[in-house]
Amino acid sequence: MTTVALKDVTKVFPDGTVAVDNVSLDVNDGEFMVLLGPSGCGKSTVLRMVAGLEDPSSGAIMLDGALVNDVPPRDRRIAMVFQDFALYPHMTVGDNIAFPLRLSGVEPGPRGARVADVAGALGIGDVLARKPSQLSGGQRQRVAMGRAIVRRPGLFLMDEPLSNLDSGLRAELRAEISGLVRELGVSTIYVTHDQAEALTMADRVAIMRKGVLQDVGTPTQVYGRPATLYVAAFLGSPRMNLLEASVYVHLDRYVALNLGEQSLYLPWDDIRTRAVAHYHGERIVVGMRAEALTPVAPDAPGDVLRGRIRYLEHHGHESLAFLDIGATAIVVDELGGPVTEQPGGPSRLRRLGNVMQRLTGRAVEAPP
Ligand code: ATP
């Protein structure tokens, strides 16, 4: 299947808007790549340039190793699925799916067989005779997928294909789409601003902000070892705790992170210690996810942070405790933990930040 390579691609619109700023990105054969970022960060523009609907201002777009900057969209073996998947309202579902095949001159016999195959795979084989107006939102989206799949493209480009659907259906369809695309083995670039969608569907996620690519990696990599403070703060709910700390190495025995009124002590044999030890004397930003902190009883022994509970938030499957620790507020996933105090009461947190990052002022921008 098609491989994609963007090399130093920039898009400046005539009004001076820099929508995409020097982006380089590879999509491997059969890979499901998700472009993730807030509204206006340039995701759709990247997709449209890969499709050939928009010309890059500079840089190279390669498909299967060949430069395609000047290749028209119809010659790129690409199928696109958009958020407002326009189906032809006067045609039946079957004719909608068959349409691209008819355009490319496939005979009625093989055409019907391909449509039946695709409709079967998508679970819409029984509605082929209906018109789009007689379908549910989810069925209409499957028809749009069917129309994209039926030509057997080398590359799928999907722009927020689920954003018009309700949340239950979205969750159902995201599993279906990623399953189906993997079965077909077609390389895919999928644009979304929904991080749950990105993290559950992607082989790799590319995170953009203001036209600039911030990080590319597997969901585990970008979540666990974000490349920039922006990515650290953007991914995950609740947001990662980001605390400023001064680093002090004590005789190669442990590292103290001074958080103001309190300190964290990392033993020398802790792998996280290596990452921060060479910032001795500097101020860094330490990232700790809520789920990496374990609440303990106020009288528990050991290396703990002390906080005062500001408020508790119950989400059914988890409860979050928002605490002030000195001058800083942090959030703790208290599921299974012994925090039973009322808001305003004292609590202790065992520090287990498994995502201590080298997020220094030099390497990153400030979080939003
Ligand atoms: P969304 O999730 O809202 O679709 P996006 O991340 O896909 O956003 P783009 O649609 O790629 O973002 O837009 C990136 C930037 O380029 C935005 O600032 C947008 O306003 C701008 N932009 C897009 N198309 C044009 C255009 N034709 N002329 C000028 N600016 C444009």
Ligand 1 touching residue 42 (CB < 6 A): yes
Judged by average pLDDT, the poorest of 222-231, 243-252, 282-291, 305-314 is 305-314
- 226 CB less than 6 Å from ligand 1? no
Give the pair of three-digit tokens for residue 30.
């059969």
> Can you give the pLDDT at residue 357?
36
CA of residue 206 to ligand 1 center, whole Å: 17
Instruction: Judge whether 158 and 191 are in contact, CB under 8 Å.
Output: yes
Residue count of the chain, please give it. 368
Instruction: Assign 347 a pLDDT band (cuts: 50, 70, 90).
Output: low
* DSSP H/E element including 283: strand 283-288
The mean of the pLDDT values for the chain is: 84
Could you identify the residue written with the tokens 């039926």?
150
Q: Rounded mean pLDDT of 149-172?
A: 86
* 295 preceded by a cis bond (ω within 30 of 0): no
Q: How far is the CA of 210 from the centre of ligand 1 (A)?
A: 10
Average pLDDT over residues 345-363: 42
User: Which pairs count as long-range contacts for 275-279, CB under 8 Å and 24+ apart, including other chains?
Assistant: 275/356, 275/357, 275/358, 276/247, 276/356, 276/358, 277/247, 277/249, 279/247, 279/358, 279/360
In this prediction, what percent of the chain has a pLDDT beyond 90? 41
pLDDT at 9 over 60: yes
Strands 204-209 and 187-192: unpaired
Highest mean pLDDT: which range of 48-57, 81-90, 222-231, 342-351: 48-57
Q: What is the pLDDT of residue 350?
A: 54
DSSP strand pairing (212-217 vs 66-67): unpaired
Does the beta carbon of 43 lie inside 6 Å of ligand 1?
A: yes
219: left (phi over 0), alpha (psi -120 to 50) or beta: alpha
Position 148 pLDDT exceeds 90: no
Distance in angstroms (rounded) separating the CA atoms of residues 247 and 359: 13
Residue 242 confidence class, pLDDT cut points 50, 70, 90: confident
- DSSP lists the bridge partners of residue 3 as none
Whether the pLDDT of residue 361 is over 60: the answer is no
The confidence band for 338, taking pLDDT boundaries of 50, 70 and 90, is very low
Mean pLDDT of 124-137: 92
Query: Which pLDDT does position 337 carry in this prediction?
Result: 45
Predicted confidence (pLDDT) per residue in 294-321, tens digit:
777 767 766 777 777 787 888 777 788 8
Ligand 1 centre from 82 Cα, in Å?
15
Return the best residue to mutate from 15, 45, 47, 189 for the ligand 1 pocket (most ligand atoms within 8 A of CB): 45
45 in contact with ligand 1, CB cutoff 6 A: yes
Query: Which whole number is the average pLDDT over 239-266?
Result: 84
The conformational region for residue 295 under phi > 0 = left, psi -120 to 50 = alpha, else beta, is: beta
ipTM: 0.96
Rounded to the nearest 5 percent, the helix, strand and coil shares of the chain are: 30, 35, 40
pLDDT digits (tens, 9 = 90+) for 182-217: 888 899 999 999 999 999 999 999 999 999 999 999
**Which ligand 1 atom is nearest residue 18's CA?**
16
| Residue 320 CB less than 6 A away from ligand 1 | no
Nearest to 289 by CA among 225, 196, 362, 213: 225
Residue 305's nearest CA partner among 337, 346, 348 is: 348
Is 11's C-beta closer than 6 angstroms to any atom of ligand 1? no
CATH class of 4-225: alpha beta
pLDDT value of position 266? 80
| Domain edges within the chain | 4-225, 241-360
SS3 12: strand
Phi and psi (nearest 5°) for 129?
-85, -10
